[in-house]
Structure formats: structure tokens, C-alpha cells
A and B are shown apart, each in its own frame.
Chain A
Amino acid sequence: MDNRIYVIGRDCAPQHLRLDAGEKVSMTLVILPGTDAQLALEIDLAGPGASLDLAGLYLCPEAGQVDLRVLVRHAVGGCSSRQLFKGIVGGTARVCFDGLIYVAPDAQKTEAYQENHSLLLSDTARVESRPQLEIYADDVQCSHGATTGYLNPDELFYMRSRGIPEAQARHLQMQAFLAPVIRRLPDALAEEIHASLP
């Protein structure tokens, strides 16, 4: 399965996708530092057996505003969708993530998961995460989760006590946090992301 990669501001990302019966789409959105972005993405799983694997990464280490709205609509049964959004937010940056999974009546045997995790680098950064489920069928497996946290100071001290300089230790922590999304990207883009971390 191809993984379609869109770097927001460089590539033209779709606003609407429709997956027909048996269609499988894997897609990764990347928001690099210094990009103010307002993204609204709607995806319809319109035929049985369709499957969506969606991931996103937002890097706002200093400033800026990112609004992400994702709607995944399960119109028919027997489809699956997985979403994983992760990001780093620092300085005075603002991130708003709005994710809705809609499961239509009769869309039985739906599997839908969504996760959104943010790492805050400052007390003045803000993240609003609103994952929502709207489910009208009863035989489904759906879940969502959102976390917002800081770099773990115990991990930082542990690494420094082994001689890893503080800045590098913070980079390792951030890279580890982002790894599940970065793994989906080509090496050159992964390198670019690693180099852009504060």
C-alpha cells in the first residue's frame, strides 16, 4: 500500500477523499516549523472493505497557529480507519485539533481509532484537542485518545547522567516521541524534521 505524504505548504493536500469498496489508503500529513496552517480534511469510507491509515505530525516549536480538523465518515459497514496525530508545541504556538469519527446507522463491523498526542515545550504554548465520536451503529469497535504532556525530567536527568548533553538528550526524547509518525516518512524528510527540532 502506497503511503501518500503531504508536506503542508509544499504539496497540495486533498481536502476530501472518498474510499470505495476494498480501497486502501495510507496518508501522512506533515506540518513543519514556521507553517501557519488551517487544514480541514474529510474522508468518506463509502464502500465495504475500505481502509484508511492516516497519520499527521505538527511541529510548532516557537510560534504560529495550526488548526486541524479531520472528519472520518464511516457510511457503510465493514470498513476500518486508524488515525495518529502527534506534535511538538512550544513558545507561544497554538494548536487546535478537532477530530470527529462518524459511524452511520447500519455501518456495522466498523473499526475506527483515533489518537492525538502533543508534547508541550513551554508554559505559554497551548493545545486544544477535541476528539469526538458520533456512533449510530451498535456492533462497532471505536476508540479515541488524547494526551498533552511535557518532556519527562527523569528521562532527561538519566540521559545527562550518562554524559549525553542536555540539548541532545531533549532531541532524543522528541525524536522518540515522534518516531511512530516519522517511521512512515522517507529518510530525507525525517532528517529535515530531526534537524528542525529546537
Chain B
Amino acid sequence: MNKVLLEIKNLHASVEGKEILKGVDLTIRRGEVHAVMGPNGAGKSTLGSVLAGRPTYEVTAGSILYDGRDLLSLSPEERSWAGLFLSFQYPVEIPGVSITNFMKAAVAARRKAQGLPELTPGGYLKLLKEKMALVKMKGEFARREVNVGFSGGEKKRNEVFQMAMLEPTLSILDETDSGLDVDALRIVAEGVQQLRTPENAAIVITHYQRLLDYIVPDVVHVLKEGRIVRTGGRELVDQIEREGYESIDG
């Protein structure tokens, strides 16, 4: 068995006083891909947001150990430096900030936190081009303002591009398949597949099975009303596809 990367115990979380997560337990080892599926409103996105440290979410009980560290004591930027990455369900537009400058700041801050020397401008450009190619983005992409005027597919490709730039240890893909046509879905899924290594892990949050046709999960969890009610293998995805979430309870 590989080393445990993430250990969530009895996690309770609220937003604006309303409890969304009601005792989540989840253990992920290096090299694994876990799918978290569930109906709308089950708390899937909340789980992703809590892991990334979104300030509007309050953890009221439970613990999260990430690579042996207390994740909840880290700021969002510290979590990123430690190798955690959230692909947003709704990527945010940042008018006036180009993708080049956005990623330059992100890469520089991360390298500094890791005690690595700054990249030369040439080295940065090389990295940028290499990762853009992974999600089939063209040259002008880097000069555009972050997500401004992007189509749904471009936004999600931009998320996977950022993921590639930051080479995370734990990636959380929150509904990365929503709003994608088949071609965009394939580009996104292939990008994610190429980033898989025996050392890193991923949580794929999704409502539908179709992304899981491309990114095959090792473990599947069903989240309902703030709790994981079932954990299984690939066969669980097929059961949900046939019978819906109604058929699955704790």
C-alpha cells in the first residue's frame, strides 16, 4: 500500500451558519484517483472548497491531515505551496490581469516557498509553452486576461493548464466536466491523465459518469446530505448511471 496523503476525519463544515458537511471520513493514498459523486446539494463542492481553504466556509468539527500536516491550520496560499490544487467549478474572471502575469506570480511564490531559485524569463516562457501545449492552447492565450470572455470550455482548459503549471500533489477537480462539449472534455481529461504519477493523487468531484470514462477512478464515493454513504469501485458508477442516486443509501 502506498503512503497516505490525505486523511479526513469526521469533518463538519458550515456556510453562513448552515451545516453542509455532517461528518465526512475519507482517506486517500498517493497514486490514487478518488471520485466523489452525489446529487446536487450533497456537499461535493463544499468539500473541495474546505480543502482549499475558502474563507466563507467554517469547519466546526473534525480534522484533515495532509502529508502529515494539519491542513486546516494553513492559509490557502500555504496549501497551494504544499501541493494542493483546486480546479474551480466556476473559475473566476480577473479583469486587467494577464494569464502570463498571474501564473508568473503563482510560480514565483511557490518556488520561493519551496526554497527554489527564481526561474529566468526564458525558463518561465519555456514552461508556459510546454504546459499550454498540454491543453492545446495557442500563443495569444497567455496574453489574455484571466478567464475574461472565455467560453466554458476555455475556462476549464485554463484550470487544467494552471494545474499543469503548478504540478500539484493533490488535485481536486470540482465539476471540471460541467459545461464541456465532447472535444473539450477529451482535452481536459487527457491533460489530467498526463499529469498522473505514482506520487500524486486526485479527487474528481462530479455529478455524471462521463468524465470517469476518461479518468478511471480507483475508488468511488457517494456523498449524500453531507455524508459519504457508500464507498466502492467502478461498479458503483454503473449502478448510479442505471438507477440514479435514489438507489444508494447508507
Q: Which A residues are in CB contact (< 8 Å) with B162?
A: 162
Contacting residues of chain B (55-107) with chain A, CB-CB under 8 angstroms: 55-56, 75-77, 79-81, 85-86, 88, 91-97, 101-103, 105-106
Determine whether A159 belongs to the interface, using a CB cutoff of 8 Å to chain B: yes
Determine whether A176 belongs to the interface, using a CB cutoff of 8 Å to chain B: yes
Contact A163 B77 (CB under 8 A): yes
A164 → chain B closest CB, angstroms? 5
Contact with B along A158-198 (1 / 0, CB 8 A): 11111111101000110111010000000000000000000
Given contacts A153-B55, A155-B92, A168-B109, whether A161 and B97 have CB atoms under 8 Å apart is: no
Q: Total A-B residue pairs with C-beta atoms closer than 8 Å? A: 72
Chain A residue nearest in CB terms to B54: A157
Determine whether A154 belongs to the interface, using a CB cutoff of 8 Å to chain B: yes
Contacting residues of chain B (136-167) with chain A, CB-CB under 8 angstroms: 162, 166
A163 to B75 CA separation, bound complex (whole angstroms): 10
Chain B residue nearest in CB terms to A176: B96
Contact A176 B94 (CB under 8 A): yes
Determine whether B113 belongs to the interface, using a CB cutoff of 8 Å to chain A: yes
A159 to B85 CA separation, bound complex (whole angstroms): 12
Q: Interface residues of B toward A: which range? A: 20 to 34
Judged by DSSP, the binding face of A is helix
Contact B80 A179 (CB under 8 A): no
Contact A157 B97 (CB under 8 A): no
Q: Which B residues are in CB contact (< 8 Å) with A159?
A: 94, 102, 105-106
Report which residue of A160, A163, A166, A176 has the largest number of chain B beta carbons within 10 angstroms of its beta carbon: A163
Contact B105 A172 (CB under 8 A): yes
A176 → chain B closest CB, angstroms? 3
A181 to B97 CA separation, bound complex (whole angstroms): 15
Chain A residue nearest in CB terms to B113: A163
Residues in chain B within 8 A of chain A (CB atoms): 52-56, 75-77, 79-81, 85-86, 88, 91-97, 101-103, 105-106, 109-110, 113, 162, 166
